Structure 1
Amino acid sequence: MTWPPQRLDAPDPATYSPRQQEIHDQIASGPRGGVRGPLAVWLHRPELAARAQDLGRYCRYDTSLDQRLSELAILVTGRVFGSEYEWQIHRGHALTAGLEPEIIEAVRRNRRPDFPDAETEVVHDVARAAHEKRELDDALYARAIAVLGEGRLVDLVGLLGYYTLISLTINIFRIPPIGEGDAELSDG
């Protein structure tokens, strides 16, 4: 597939300000191991990059949700936004975290998966409702509290907000998938 040209490339490292270099080095030395995609574009505004990467580190690595559930929420976000880069990056993370391939494929195709447990189902349902309806009805909210508890629901909402920022950055600045591979979300 031919992707439209990226609208805003990352700043040229040769022209980094001292603050851009500092933030770049902080991100690159952390668990992400590099500065790519949305994080690289955010370096145009190093304070945004610094604060967003701190929030992202919490949402990705330090949340009270187990990684399998976090990756499901991220995939749902990427699917709803049609964000190929996000999908490409997190599909592999989801598999590594133990998310069932059948669930990943159902999300990719915009179909409701069969769920092995109540936690997986409620994370999926909250993520879809949050992005599609911009709220949770009383029944879903009550189910989410009963299944996840207040703290994990707060973390889930924070994660959904952060990955919405990621998706918007990817889509608005047209960040293509790595290697500009085939679209996986177009036939959903």
Structure 2
Amino acid sequence: MMRAIRRMALLLGLAAAIAAGGASTAVAEQGGAAETGVLAEYQGETIDLAESWEGAEICHQRQSGEVNCYDSEAAYRAGEGLSQTASASGAGTLALSDCPASYLCLWKGTNYTGERLQLQMDTYLDLLSNYGFEDQVSSIANRSVYYAEIYDNDYPDFPRLVIPPNAAYPDLSVFPHAYGGSWNNRADLVLF
């Protein structure tokens, strides 16, 4: 019950901010600071994911909120201290089976291909523009016990697509969007 109340409060706050014209960018300027997206560690450097992934294929949000990015599945597994043999997809190949338990994984390509963003399911709300993923999600997997929702904030009533626990959708183009077309490359934010 508390989780549902918190979700509604977050969505109402976001709706108010967008209606006021202030939430369509990654992070609004605060105190004169430049607008930035999520900062991530990649090859010993800090990168702004809203600007570029700099060649990374996988960006993984840790429980601490920190984000690390990797060139390949093998580099991700080594960097996170995971077994190299646990990947069902094989070295260098991205697949649904590579999405960790308790995460929401988003891919830029259909059939779980292309760049992959792995979000912890305890963050409640994430603007995908912060991660350089706005309007670029083509497949999605929810490996948690919670429902996840993706929203399109280009419309005043925030059309959404619900992803049930342990559900995976290899091609968002098969899901019709309320304003025509499909959900392929339409997600702007994620709510858990």
The interval holding the TM-score normalised by the smaller chain is: under 0.3
TM-score by length of 1: 0.25
* TM-score, normalization by structure 2: 0.25
Greater helix share, structure number: 1
The one of the two structures with greater contact order (alpha-carbon pairs below 8 A, sep at least 6) is: 1
